[in-house]
Amino acid sequence: MPNQSTENLVPISDIREGIAILKNGSLRMVLEVSAINFDLRSGDEQVAILQGFQRFLNSADFPLQIVISSRELNIDTYLKIVEQIVESAENELFRIQATEYARFIKELSGLANIMSKKFYIVIPFYVYEKPEATGLVESLKGVLQPKEVAKELTEEQFNTYKNQLLQRAELVYGGLVGLGLKIKPVEDENLKDLYYRLYNPSSKT
């Protein structure tokens, strides 16, 4: 098998204005979604949340991807901050409590990995989409095997497709905000960092 550089294996050609441009010409917008504690809700609230989520899925006439990223949390920086606070503290009681707290966190991290979990919705846009691909099966085929598109986008094309993505993002926002979720787009630098961590799973958050 011929050697391939990492760059050739990554399907992204550019990231700008909060949008990932893939090498096949399609676009992706990523929205970060907050979590809610479903188990702490009452029975009626749980039913309302499930029904609201069902309505949101039924209202989407385009494919989308829900991604859950679970990674080991790097607490070294946090512990250094706590140690600096301990060193600068003038109150002896506070210094003792902060020292005990730092020791507890170190012991806890030694016993089990502390994980960070984040939730994302990836909204795709293909330049040439099949008009008949409205069913679930056809939509999934469109995600896994998108049609070949122009690899170079003009500024006018990019702005047009970006507006289409923004309309889809508004639909997602409207469908989820009523469930008590907070949604925000992932901007350029954070988007680059997100893709880097996805392609480097051994790195810690």
User: Residue 134 has what pLDDT?
Assistant: 43
User: Residue 6 has what pLDDT?
Assistant: 57
User: Residue 44 has what pLDDT?
Assistant: 92
pLDDT tens sequence across 141-189: 444 454 444 367 788 888 898 999 999 999 999 889 888 899 999 998 9
Q: What is the mean pLDDT of residues 187-200?
A: 84
**Among 4-8, 12-16, 42-46, 83-87, the least confident range:** 4-8
User: Residue 30 has what pLDDT?
Assistant: 93
Does the pTM of the predicted model rise above 0.85? Answer: no
pLDDT tens sequence across 80-121: 888 888 888 788 888 888 888 888 877 777 766 677 788 999
pLDDT tens sequence across 30-62: 999 998 888 888 999 999 999 999 999 998 889
User: Residue 7 has what pLDDT?
Assistant: 60
**Among 5-19, 71-85, 128-142, the least confident range:** 128-142
Q: What is the mean pLDDT of residues 62-75?
A: 83
* The one-letter amino acid at 145: Q
